[in-house]
Structure 1
Amino acid sequence: MNTHDAIRSITDRIVERSMRSRASYMKAMEKAAQAGRNRSKLACANLAHVAAASEASEKRALLAANIPNIAIVTAYNDMVSAHQPFEQFPALIRNAARKNGAIAQVAGGVPAMCDGITQGADGMELSLFSRDAIALATVVALSHNAFDASLYLGVCDKIVPGLVMGALGFGHLPAVFVPGGPMPTGLSNPEKSRIRQLYAEGKVDRSALLDAEVKSYHSAGTCTFYGTANSNQMLMEFMGLHLPGSSFVNPNTPLRDALTAAATERVIAIAPPRNQAVPLCRVLDERAFVNGIVGLLATGGSTNHTMHLVAMARCAGIILTWDDFADISAVVPLLVRAYPNGKADINHFHAAGGVGYLISSLLSAGLLNEDAVTIMGEGLDAYTSEPWLDDGQLAWRPAVSASADETVLRPVTAPFQKTGGLSVLSGNVGRAVMKVSAVLPEHRAITAPARVFVSQAELLEAYARGDLDCDFVAVLPFQGPQACGMPELHKLMPALGSLQDRGFRVALVTDGRMSGASGKVPAAIHVTPEAAADGPISRIRNGDMIVIDPQEGAIEVVVDPGEFGSRPPEKRPLRENWGTGREYFAQARYSVSSAETGASFVAPAY
């Protein structure tokens, strides 16, 4: 297969741009690998601690240091539905490791907060920063230097990016990521959205809203809409860190358990001392990150990954920019319609052909780096297959050759649109991103006067009073990482969606984030420079005409340049950045990088 010229060119320019930093990172990983198998280098007292709690047979093996010891880093907790199934995984993994002549130990746990719980609440100001806290917790878990390879148990929004960032600090070790799977389909996502909007309009009461929400989020597993959590799982498969076809198998099923055991077998197969190691640093190179971006754009995935992928790449010494996303989006077609980009949920996507069909289709068009290294070996051929149980035994077979439902999943030859689901906007407001795949074409471009708000609450109060029955662009500055940790503003969507449905032209401009479930209202988000850094968004005033045009990649405030440039920036509104633990992240707000460079306070500068 021949790689598309644009994909090859973009990959090559990332390689060139990252040459020095990538070389520095790889040199550090080579040095770590050359230091030898870490457990065998431990002093006797250190090694005794490693084995102290193990049963007798495993203790002997750990002390002898002659078989692989696999680290389990887990995001298990009971409250987050996607991570609750991980409670049973360590036992499955330990058993599979024993059967394959290895040992597995839980090396540590990482926090796993739920954005669905903190939406619109103070805790959301910790959400983005939790990613870097997870990266820190991951490197602490591995810092004992007692492991030969690692398994990472994580699913949701900040957890997988944080695990990847931390794992890359020990990139000389082989690594396999182990998903938990989505919950079965409940109340449809469009119906849930309809009830939310009716509640925002005062047409149904809280009991009706709660009933709809409970029927939507009803079981263990990932939420079924195609937000950041499920975008994470797609990425791990496209980037070669999951077993093929494992991302969207429901939890607590025989196939899910078989895949967890197989993930253990696979990490042992690519781990020293008996095998040729395939370290994580070799898998996550420039080709893998381009493949991840292709998958994101072909599926209309979460805008959060315009930051997460950048931060993850920096931990591997690779420099991605939003221009890379924009240029890939120009050649990669949109092939998936899953809510909020369509009516289907992630289970429908999986049933229609899923990731195996999608990768096969993109490979046939040359839109992936087919020679990328994965945990399965060289190339992506293994990822054009799907798992199944053959008389109770795990096996793989070729993915379907045709989509089972072209309202959900299409071939490259008949896409939903010829370009990807993301636009990068530039202009005198700064730089921003917009998820266009969920927005109808007639709503994407808008020119309307600004209405500036200091908070989500102020906008929603204006909506409740009926003050927003007009065309306008809602501008919410001081929502960026330096200001308050960059919370998601998804609570605004039912109100803005209601106004749009009533015929008004509305949009959102903010230096904050939207949920991975960004919906039907055009939203220019992640504006950088942010208002807290005196970015131009802080000089927008009520009544200024705002132009948003994703087709042209433009975001402009129509004000005389001299006047606009001379305006003093608004100062950060007084807010209490304390309570709900927010005061503990004060230093993070001072040191965090911009949205375009990953919004990270830990990503190293190799």
Structure 2
Amino acid sequence: MHPVIQQVTDNIIQRSETSRSNYLQRMALAREQGPHRGVLSCGNLAHGFAACNQQDKASLRSLTKANIAIVSAYNDMLSAHQPYEDYPKRIKAAVNEVGSVAQFASGVPAMCDGVTQGQPGMELSLLSRDIIAMSAAIGLAHNMFDGGVMLGICDKIVPGLLLAALSFGHLPFVFIPAGPMPSGIPNKEKARIRQQFAEGKVTKEQLLAAEAASYHAAGTCTFYGTANSNQLVIEIMGLHLPGASFVNPGTELRDALTAAAARQVTRLTDLGDNYLPISQIIDAKAIVNGIVGLLATGGSTNHTMHLIAVARAAGYIVNWDDFAQLSAATPLLTRIYPNGHADINHFQQAGGMAVLIKELLNAGLLHNDVQTIAGPGLSRYTQTPTLVDGNLVWQDSPSVSQDLTVLSTATKPFSRHGGLEVLSGNLGRAVIKTSALREGTAVIKAPAVVFSSQHQLDAAFQAGDLNKDCIIVVRFQGPKACGMPELHKLTPPLGVLQDRGYKVALVTDGRMSGASGKVPAAIHVTPEALDGGNLAKIQTGDLVLVDAEQGVLQLFVSEAELALRTAASIELTTTDSFGMGREFFGALRSQLTGAEQGACSLFKE
């Protein structure tokens, strides 16, 4: 093992000794109280199988056949989730084939950040992760199940489902993806047209035509944002079948993988000899593997929160210093938009997960000695699924990438650094995605221009007030202020300013995620402006440094002067908490932790 990877793993294990032990004790107690249908009263059990057919009723009465929970985030507005419409039927049939039963246990909400960008509903996006976890937990709490399959892909959905699964960590769970849509117009071309629209050079009809040519079919969006980062991380942590993440929807291979995943979870229940609950799969080594996979591919910065919350759900304490240390030791092996021109289908064609995992294992950057749903050892995931005479088999992957411009080698990476830095200074702590930055933009020192909403920034851009070197500060976007929306709306105007030759950067307590690209963006600033952070004391004209090389986020105002300044207060007009259902979530927002603690409401300190 690479010494840094091992050291970070050991650090996590040591600092989490008590919390992990407590978690495993809870899971052991939960196991002792099951299989759980056996503790239900006759009336309870009769309610649980009342709608089943006679064969399934007999199986559930016997208490010897597995009952698999289906938890789905299906809705047909999300292109990534539309293929899930017929998955329950497919899963039930596959589970019945091996003599077990599957019941649809719970539907969970699924928000598309792409639809809500710049809209009031975006303020519910991060909050939805915790709601998804709680919704799934309600379905699983019926105590009827021996294992589960989780159907989810996008942004907050997979982390929410994983949080729920870990809460029921005495059960086995398999995550089943649906795959990316076929490639549309190149993502770089889409971004170019967005910038032209921001400058008034193309019409809204032309912009819509470009967007529709990019987001054009069922399946996950093809750029490497949070949705595809979710799939990569879940597979590298051993919760997908090998090679399942990026097979397109509606193909024979996709259907075969879905059926195989459904059958696989029945083999892992406590009713057989191969009991493997998710609490035994998600350990410190699996978590570190997930972080390394994310960093090696320039994945979504959302996971600097999600993986911290997931680790906490499994009894581990992970922080941003762990991410920074792992990033310094992890080479960047992929160029997938916004870190390059290729999309996720090109990554799959180059060799995909099997070649990536093989490269990282050979370089000592991943722990091989882990448990997975496919068996012991991550090396199982260096094989590729295929159909041979209609039968699903796994074959050895190519020894090297088939396109070194998309997926490189550990000996000749695109960068020796994983592309994520942690910034610290008198403004607090932040993360910055450096993997897509242009040369010469990693260090920006300029006067601040301060806003309290992305809409204010857009107005200033349209008025020409930002045509200068500046550091854009957008505050009161943190978890407690307004639910920490993603600020994709900022990307086109900031990109235009950069292309005009101005030195610009963004500092915000909000999120950027998959939109983090060529413009340096210090995001997730903690503490947030509403929670005592010095973001609330910055004034337009103050000198600010964003230094992604040395890890510095500094406001050049003396401590004495800062002490005399009155913190700005949140303006009702910038975060109106009513409308689009936002009034229902005020109490939940107030319970969210800081970004480095996972921006989570589910765990008591």
Indicate whether the TM-score tops 0.5.
Answer: yes
Give the aligned partner of residue 584 of structure 2: 584
Q: Shift of residue 515 of structure 1?
A: 3.2
Counterpart of 1:565, as a letter, is A
Q: Shift of residue 534 of structure 1?
A: 1.8
Counterpart of 2:433, as a letter, is K
Give the aligned partner of residue 447 of structure 1: 445
Q: Give the whole-Å Cα distance in 2 for the aligned partners of 1:376 and 1:82.
A: 24
Q: Does 1:141 align with 2:139?
A: yes
Q: Give the whole-Å Cα distance in 2 for the aligned partners of 1:577 and 1:36.
A: 43
Contact in 1 for aligned 2:491/2:515 (Cα 8 Å) = no
Q: Give the whole-Å Cα distance in 2 for the aligned partners of 1:342 and 1:604.
A: 40
Q: Give the whole-Å Cα distance in 1 for the aligned partners of 2:96 and 2:266.
A: 11
Give the aligned partner of residue 200 of structure 1: 198
Q: Does 1:490 align with 2:473?
A: no
1:422-457 deviation digits (Å, cap 9, x = unpaired): 110001110000011111131121000000011111
Q: Give the whole-Å Cα distance in 1 for the aligned partners of 2:564 and 2:286.
A: 44
Q: Shift of residue 521 of structure 1?
A: 0.5
Counterpart of 2:226, as a letter, is T
Aligned pair partner of 2:116 in 115, 118, 123: 118
3-state SS of paired residue (1:307): helix
1:60-110 deviation digits (Å, cap 9, x = unpaired): 111111100000000001100100100111111111111111111110100
Contact in 2 for aligned 1:175/1:280 (Cα 8 Å) = yes
Give the aligned partner of residue 84 of structure 2: 86
Counterpart of 2:450, as a letter, is V
Give the aligned partner of residue 514 of structure 1: 512
Between the aligned residues of both structures, percent identity stands at 56
Q: Give the whole-Å Cα distance in 1 for the aligned partners of 2:347 and 2:274.
A: 36
Q: Give the whole-Å Cα distance in 1 for the aligned partners of 2:393 and 2:297.
A: 26
Give the aligned partner of residue 162 of structure 1: 160
Distance of aligned partners of 1:115 and 1:360 in 2 relative to their CA distance in 1, 3 Å threshold:
same
Q: Does 1:603 align with 2:598?
A: no
Q: Give the whole-Å Cα distance in 2 for the aligned partners of 1:141 and 1:35.
A: 18
Give the aligned partner of residue 418 of structure 1: 416
1:535-579 deviation digits (Å, cap 9, x = unpaired): 011111111111111110111011223212332211112232011
Counterpart of 1:36, as a letter, is G
3-state SS of paired residue (1:516): helix
Counterpart of 2:518, as a letter, is K
Q: Shift of residue 591 of structure 1?
A: 0.9
Give the aligned partner of residue 227 of structure 2: 229
3-state SS of paired residue (2:440): helix
Contact in 1 for aligned 2:422/2:432 (Cα 8 Å) = yes
Aligned pair partner of 1:69 in 67, 75, 88: 67
Counterpart of 1:601, as a letter, is S
Q: Shift of residue 604 of structure 1?
A: 5.1
Counterpart of 1:149, as a letter, is G
Mapping of 1:172-321 within 5 angstroms? 172-321=170-319
3-state SS of paired residue (2:332): coil
Contact in 1 for aligned 2:469/2:504 (Cα 8 Å) = yes
1:214-260 deviation digits (Å, cap 9, x = unpaired): 00000000000000000000001110000000000001110000000
Q: Give the whole-Å Cα distance in 1 for the aligned partners of 2:132 and 2:176.
A: 16
Q: Give the whole-Å Cα distance in 1 for the aligned partners of 2:30 and 2:604.
A: 17
Q: Give the whole-Å Cα distance in 2 for the aligned partners of 1:222 and 1:275.
A: 36
Q: Give the whole-Å Cα distance in 1 for the aligned partners of 2:7 and 2:494.
A: 40
Q: Give the whole-Å Cα distance in 1 for the aligned partners of 2:119 and 2:32.
A: 48
Q: Shift of residue 517 of structure 1?
A: 2.8
Q: Give the whole-Å Cα distance in 2 for the aligned partners of 1:493 and 1:69.
A: 47
1:303-328 deviation digits (Å, cap 9, x = unpaired): 00000000111111111000000000
Contact in 1 for aligned 2:117/2:488 (Cα 8 Å) = yes
Contact in 2 for aligned 1:108/1:138 (Cα 8 Å) = yes
Counterpart of 1:23, as a letter, is S
Counterpart of 1:589, as a letter, is R
1:263-309 deviation digits (Å, cap 9, x = unpaired): 01211111131232100000011111100000000000000000000
Contact in 1 for aligned 2:331/2:418 (Cα 8 Å) = yes
Contact in 1 for aligned 2:479/2:599 (Cα 8 Å) = yes
Q: After TM superposition, what 4+ stretches of structure 1 lie above 3 angstroms from structure 2?
A: none
Counterpart of 1:325, as a letter, is F
Mapping of 1:312-351 within 5 angstroms? 312-351=310-349
1:179-215 deviation digits (Å, cap 9, x = unpaired): 0100000111001001100000000000000000000
Aligned pair partner of 2:550 in 549, 552, 556: 552
Farther off after superposition, 9-18 or 565-574: 565-574
Gaps of 5+ in 1: none
3-state SS of paired residue (2:249): coil
3-state SS of paired residue (1:441): coil
Counterpart of 1:580, as a letter, is M
3-state SS of paired residue (2:513): coil
Aligned pair partner of 1:525 in 516, 523, 526: 523
Q: Does 1:387 align with 2:405?
A: no
3-state SS of paired residue (2:367): coil
Task: Name the TM-score, length of structure 2 as normaliser.
Answer: 0.99
3-state SS of paired residue (2:22): helix
1:470-497 deviation digits (Å, cap 9, x = unpaired): 0000001100001000011110110000
Counterpart of 1:591, as a letter, is Q
Contact in 1 for aligned 2:334/2:414 (Cα 8 Å) = yes
Contact in 2 for aligned 1:226/1:517 (Cα 8 Å) = no
Q: Does 1:35 align with 2:6?
A: no
Counterpart of 2:582, as a letter, is R
Gaps of 5+ in 2: none
3-state SS of paired residue (2:111): coil
Task: Name the TM-score, length of structure 1 as normaliser.
Answer: 0.99
Contact in 2 for aligned 1:178/1:242 (Cα 8 Å) = yes
Counterpart of 1:195, as a letter, is I
Give the aligned partner of residue 98 of structure 1: 96
Contact in 2 for aligned 1:314/1:604 (Cα 8 Å) = no
Q: Give the whole-Å Cα distance in 1 for the aligned partners of 2:89 and 2:475.
A: 47
Q: Give the whole-Å Cα distance in 2 for the aligned partners of 1:90 and 1:506.
A: 49
Counterpart of 2:267, as a letter, is A
1:10-58 deviation digits (Å, cap 9, x = unpaired): 1011001111111111100000001121012211001101111011111
Q: Give the whole-Å Cα distance in 1 for the aligned partners of 2:360 and 2:498.
A: 35
3-state SS of paired residue (1:13): helix
Q: Give the whole-Å Cα distance in 2 for the aligned partners of 1:320 and 1:287.
A: 12
Q: Give the whole-Å Cα distance in 1 for the aligned partners of 2:545 and 2:270.
A: 57
CA-atom RMSD in angstroms: 0.8
Q: Give the whole-Å Cα distance in 1 for the aligned partners of 2:222 and 2:604.
A: 34
Q: Give the whole-Å Cα distance in 2 for the aligned partners of 1:320 and 1:197.
A: 37
Distance of aligned partners of 1:77 and 1:65 in 2 relative to their CA distance in 1, 3 Å threshold:
same
3-state SS of paired residue (1:442): coil
Count of matched residue pairs: 603
Aligned pair partner of 1:129 in 99, 107, 127: 127
Contact in 2 for aligned 1:221/1:250 (Cα 8 Å) = yes
1:404-423 deviation digits (Å, cap 9, x = unpaired): 11111001000000010111
Contact in 2 for aligned 1:165/1:603 (Cα 8 Å) = no
Give the aligned partner of residue 428 of structure 1: 426
Aligned pair partner of 2:361 in 317, 341, 363: 363
Q: Give the whole-Å Cα distance in 2 for the aligned partners of 1:270 and 1:316.
A: 19
Q: Shift of residue 603 of structure 1?
A: 3.2
Contact in 2 for aligned 1:301/1:516 (Cα 8 Å) = yes
Q: Give the whole-Å Cα distance in 1 for the aligned partners of 2:402 and 2:363.
A: 20
